[in-house]
Every structure is written in C-alpha cells, then in structure tokens.
Amino acid sequence: MLRPADPPRRALAELADRFAREVRGDVADVVLSGITLATADLRAGEAFVAIRGVNRHGAELAQTAADQGAVAIITDEAGAGIAASAGLPIVVVDDPRGVLGELSAWVYRTGADDRLPLLFGTTGTNGKTSVSHLLQGMFDQLGIVSGLSSTAERHIAGQVIVSRLTTPEASEMHALLALMRERDVEAVAVEVSAQALSRHRVDGIVFDVAGFTNLSHDHLDDYADMEEYFEAKLPLFTPERARRAVVSLDSPSGARVVERSGIPVVTIGTPSIAADPVAAAAADWVVTIEDERQSGTVFTLTGNDGRTLTTMVPVIGQHMAANAGLAIVMLLEAGYAWERIANAFERDGQIVAHLPGRTQFISGETGPAVYVDFGHSPDAFEKTLAAVRRVTPGKVLMLFGADGDRDATKRFDMARTAVEGSDILVITDHHPRFEDPASIRATLIEGARRARPDAQIHEFSPPEKAIEAAVSLVGDGDAILWAGPGHQDYRDIRGVRTPYSARELARRALKAAGWPVPAPHWPVPYPDED
C-alpha cells in the first residue's frame, strides 16, 4: 500500500465524533497517521479497520494489528467484542466497509472539497484498462505529471507498481491520491470496476470525468444477472461520484447509461463496430476507422461541431480506436484544449501509449505473429479475433483457457466465439484456482464442438506445452492470439501464485522453433535462458 511521505495527523477523538456509533476505550490524545484494512500493510500509528469476511472477522487480527503499532480499531459491534482483548481504543460503526471511503477521505484529506488532481474514472466490461492507459499516455504527450490506477499497474509521477486489484480498497485509493497530490500530480486515470462501486472502493471520491465503454457478459459470479450488473455500474454517473461523463454508444447499454445518468453527458460512437451503427453515427463524437495495420489502427475523430483529427493508436483493433476516441473526448471534457491535444499527436505521429498485455505483439519480423491479450470475455474474444484476422494474411490460431472459481456461465460463449473466429483452436489452462483444470477444459471443448463440430480443436496442458504446440501448428504469415493471461506474471493454482509469463513463454516457444524474436521488454519470472 502506497502512502504519502508526510502522513496525516488526525485526532482519533475527532474521527469518533464524526463517524462513531459508540467508542470503547480512551480516544483522547490518540493521533492517527493513516488507515488500512490489511494488517500486512499496517504501519505504526495507523488505525486498523476490521470487517467481517467470508470465513472470519477481521477483528480476529486485532492483536496482530496492536503488535504492529496500530493505535485504534475501527469495527462493527461483533468485531468490537472480538477485538477488546487487544487493549486498543475501539471506534464502533454500523458498517465498517460502507463507511471506509468517507473515513479514508477524512483521514487523508482527499474528499470532494480538498485540493486533488483532475480525476478520470472509466468503467465498462471491456476497454476500461485500455482507456486508462491511453489517458496516461496522452497525459505524458501533453507534458502532464500524471497518475494511473488500473488492473495492470499503478503509476505515480513516473513510479510504476504492479496492481493487486482492478480498483484498490478505499483506504489504499485515498492514500494513493494523497501521495499523488504530494508529488504534484496534475491528472489521474482510474479504472473503476463494478465491484469497486458495489464494494465501496471509490466512496468519498468525485471524478471530474467519468467514462463508459460498453457492457457485455461477465461477472455473473458476482451479480445475479446482466441487469444487476448494469445497475452496479450506474452509481458512477451520479453527482455524488462524478461531475460529467463521456459515454460510448457502441453497446446497447450506452444509451441506457445516458438515459439514467444524473450528470451532464457527451456521447461517442464507432459505427463500424457498434450494435446500432445509426445510433453510433448520431453521437456527439464519431470514430471512423481509416486503416488497420500490425503496428496500430488509424482513425479519425469527428465532433458534431466540425472539429476533426486523424491519428493512430499503437494497438490493433477497431475497438482500440474506439477506446482512444473515448479517452480523447474525456480529456476535452476535463478542459484540455483541442489544439494542444491535436498538436501533440501530430508532433509524435500517433498516440504514444503502452498498454501492458493488451493485444501485445510478441514476435519478430518473420514467422507467425503472436499476440498476448488480457481479454477474458466473449465480447473481448470476438473483437480481438476480428482485429487479428484483418491484419493476418494466413491462418489465425486461438489459444485460451478459462478462470476457475469465476463466472462459469460465460465459458460456453467464450468457446463458441473462439472457435467461430479462428481457423485452429487450442484450449489450455489459465487460473484454475481451486477447480479441476481438466473439468474446465472439458467444458470449453464441449462448447467449441457444439458450435463447430468440424473445427480443428486441440487440448494441451499445461500452458507451457500449449504454446509450444500452437507455434508448431502455424507458420510464416499466420497468427496466434493467446487470450487471457495478458500482462499477468503468475498463475493461481490452488491458492498459490506460481510465477508465469505468457509473453515470455510465447517468445521462448518462437525462438525454440527457429523464428527470430526481440529481446523481452517485460519482467521475466523465470531463470534466464542459457
């Protein structure tokens, strides 16, 4: 957990006056320097917030927190009884998680009325990580000291840290914002998941601009159905969460977000990929695809006021051009000048951004083109496969697996989309977690066979073997799309994070087959090659 170098000093008595239902112990003269949910991250002088988990109550760790220098426990009635023996003052609240955002904003002075960087929050099923990284790249092009919080990474004025959650817990998020303010960050891009909204991770934050990409089948392990999942996204588009919004009309849910939004909205559409091309073409801003290359996608952004610019996003796929257009309009809505943005793109010849694990090109100048991607939903598969197909003269091989202990209802659709969009399908393992990986693979194979009984389908386990087999099945001019692992540097196997890099495994498989490959420009969690 990142914190400001000069931590706050807040009186526990004042916190109790503002938030407590009851106080147990003496809070007088106790001073806080932070707040956290995790004893592993706790530093001396901070308060430990103990919440009830699935299997145990966090208050059971109160003694551990005290031993590490915690000055107080904030918990509910049940937790207060458990934590009493630790001997720390206890602030009792009705719902510790529900109030964590407000508590954190107060402790770190990062509420809506405090001096903060410009905040850009992006939500949607697919594309929110890409939009966030595109924004961060654009900030750099404009000479803006910036911050980023995404599924892949956290950035603070040039410092890069690997992420643990798509959106950090509220205590970590507010500490991160306080650190960014301390380092004179001007603008921050934040990826906002539905779970972050449902679980109060962005409580206490008001975004200057909110963005919406799309909604498609995902996360039905967390939400009862697609309607509940849609409703979970909507709180971002209220005055309590954001000041204005940019909404893509490329999926049917976009129009519903506009209709339900409680804040001013500007719309954007990409007719060539939209479910309703007519509605997308009538948006305030329209993205038109000009050219698709292995090095990127050229597009034109046109406003209904006649403003237009043409540039390239350095990733394949019309959906990536749509993401870039959304990021540009979010910048405009935040007050950045059109001329400043257009001049930066013209100067550099394109948008300059690094999107870790998003259709990342791994291979060399000859041999099969290999792309490693983080996509793990049917919609992501469909769009990325189509993008790879358009820049590939030969065959397209799809390699993927599915998450264990996650939304199993999308597995058949993932397999169907994969087999329908490829010439060869290779099914392997991803994060099995506590599920049987062979059972997951069997479900995927069944789904693929139902969709295309005559398809060329292979099964290999583990992934190290699968990528070697995939490379052997294709040649020069063909392409491999390895979907799922993206930037991640581990596999979750029965609760253990095993070092793993799909990018490096793909590079080594190509090299072993005799194809030229570039040197890795990513962390390698394996011993160096001989």
In the chain, the domains with their CATH numbers are 10-108 (3.40.1390.10), 118-348 (3.40.1190.10), 360-512 (3.90.190.20)
Sign of CA dihedral 198, 200, 206, 212: negative
How far apart are the C-alpha atoms of 182 and 110, rounded to whole Å? 11
pTM, 2 dp: 0.86
In the chain, what is the greatest distance between 2 CA atoms, to the nearest angstrom? 75
Residue by residue, DSSP assigns 312-371 as: EESSSSHHHHHHHHHHHHHHHHTT--HHHHHHHHHHHTS-----TTSSEE---SSS-EEE
Task: Give the CA radius of gyration of the chain.
Answer: 24
pLDDT the model gives residue 166: 54
- Residue among 296, 290, 311 nearest 354 (CA): 296
Q: Give CA–CA dist 77/318, Å, rounded.
A: 52
CB 151 within 8 A of CB 163: yes
Pairwise CA distance, residues 440 & 97, whole Å: 34
Q: Give the C-alpha separation, 283 to 255, whole Å.
A: 10
pLDDT of residue 164: 60
Alpha carbon distance 126, 359 (integer Å): 13
The pLDDT value recorded for residue 390 is 93
d(C-alpha 377, C-alpha 410), whole Å: 7
Burial 205-232 (b: 16+ CB within 10 A, else e): bbbbbbbbbbbbbbbbebbeebeebbeb
Q: What pLDDT shows up at residue 530?
A: 43
Task: Give the helix, strand, coil percentages of the chain, each rounded to 5.
Answer: 35, 20, 40
User: Which helix (H) or strand (E) is 173 found in, with range?
Assistant: helix 170-182
Residues of the chain with pLDDT under 70: 163-167, 219, 526-530
Helix-helix angle 12-19:96-108, to 10 degrees: 140
- φ and ψ at 169, to 5 degrees? -60, 155
Output the pLDDT for position 481.
96
DSSP H helical segments within 188-263, as ranges?
A: 194-198, 226-233, 252-260
How is residue 57 annotated by DSSP? B
Question: Measured between alpha carbons, how far is 52 from 80 in angstroms, rounded to an integer?
Answer: 11
What's the confidence (pLDDT) of residue 145?
96
Q: What is the distance between the alpha carbons of residues 521 and 362, in angstroms, rounded to a whole number?
A: 10
Q: Determine phi and psi for 441, rounding to 5 degrees.
A: -60, -40
Alpha-carbon gap, residue 440 to 400, rounded angstroms: 11
**What is the Cα–Cα distance from 288 to 250, expressed in whole angstroms?**
13
b/e code 49-63 from CB counts within 10 Å (16+ = b): bbbbeeeebbbebbb
Q: Which pLDDT belongs to residue 226?
A: 85
**Residues 470, 453 contacting (CB under 8 angstroms):** no
